[in-house]
Amino acid sequence: MQNRFKIDYTITPLSQRDWHLVRINNSIRVQFRSELAAIKDILYRKKRGKFSVQLVSIEDGQFQLAVSLMSRLLHAGHYAYLHRTDAEFDGKFWYRVRVGFFKNFEDALTTGKKIFEKFKDEELFSENFMPVQPGPQELSRPVIDLRQPLNKPWVIELPLYDVQNKALKDLAELNTEIDFSYISQKLKSASSGKLAYRIRIGFFETKREAGGMIYRLKKKFPKLKRMKRVHL
């Protein structure tokens, strides 16, 4: 799920972890177990969530790899996410694979070392990992703002994909031009057990606004011709 520059994997793993996706008021957010224990501790609230550890930066042409690494980290129990650069460097956008959030530099550094050692033999992550201080939007932006579909009920829908990697490839191109998108999945049939994937782009107040975005996207990406407007 893309929310501006941040991308989350919303299928949570069954592995043991100290974070969960929870509904808080009108949004779905990441909440850590430590936050519940210290919810009334003002000093703790001021310090928590100040750091992430950046494990590797991957160019936009390898978006599928970035998503795969994020998934591996999630299944290892970490809260992992991608953060895309807001501008191109060397003619490319870059996806930073990050794990968060930590109350200080030392905790972020320690986790980075543990992750690097755990996956060292597979050479998945750079030894030049580094703690970083995420921007305010990266820290506070919800995974899902539940008010958006209510206030802006129109989305753009692309045809079904048989293979997830094809959907991810198109999403990598699209998300440089849009603010919100996600890939949903469903069973093709109960008997087959096979999944189909669909990209949706949102959210728009009117059908006309969605149509204007379709026009701009088709002009930018001629191969993506089959888009339609859908009212939620």
What values do phi and psi take at 229, rounded to 5? -90, 135
Contact 1, 16 (CB under 8 A): no
| Per-position DSSP letters for the chain, written without gaps between them | -EETTEE---S--SS--SEEEEEETTEEEEEEHHHHHTTT-HHHHHHTT-EEEEEEEEEGGGHHHHHHHHHHHHHTT-EEEEEE-SS-BTTB-EEEEEEEEESSHHHHHHHHHHHHHHTGGGT-S-TT-EEE---HHHHH--SEETTHHHH--EEEEPPPBSSHHHHHHHHHHHTTT-SEEEEEEEES-TTT--EEEEEEEEEESSHHHHHHHHHHHHHH-TT----EEEE-
Query: Structural domains in the chain?
Result: 2-140 (no CATH), 147-231 (3.30.70)
User: In the 8-state DSSP scheme, what is residue 16?
Assistant: -
Q: What is the pLDDT along the chain (232 residues), one digit of tens a residue?
A: 888 888 888 877 777 787 878 888 888 888 777 665 544 444 444 455 689 999 999 999 999 999 999 999 999 999 999 999 988 888 899 999 999 888 899 999 999 999 999 999 999 998 999 999 988 778 776 777 778 788 899 999 999 999 999 999 999 999 889 989 999 998 888 788 889 999 999 999 999 999 999 999 999 999 988 999 999 8
Q: pTM for the whole thing? A: 0.86
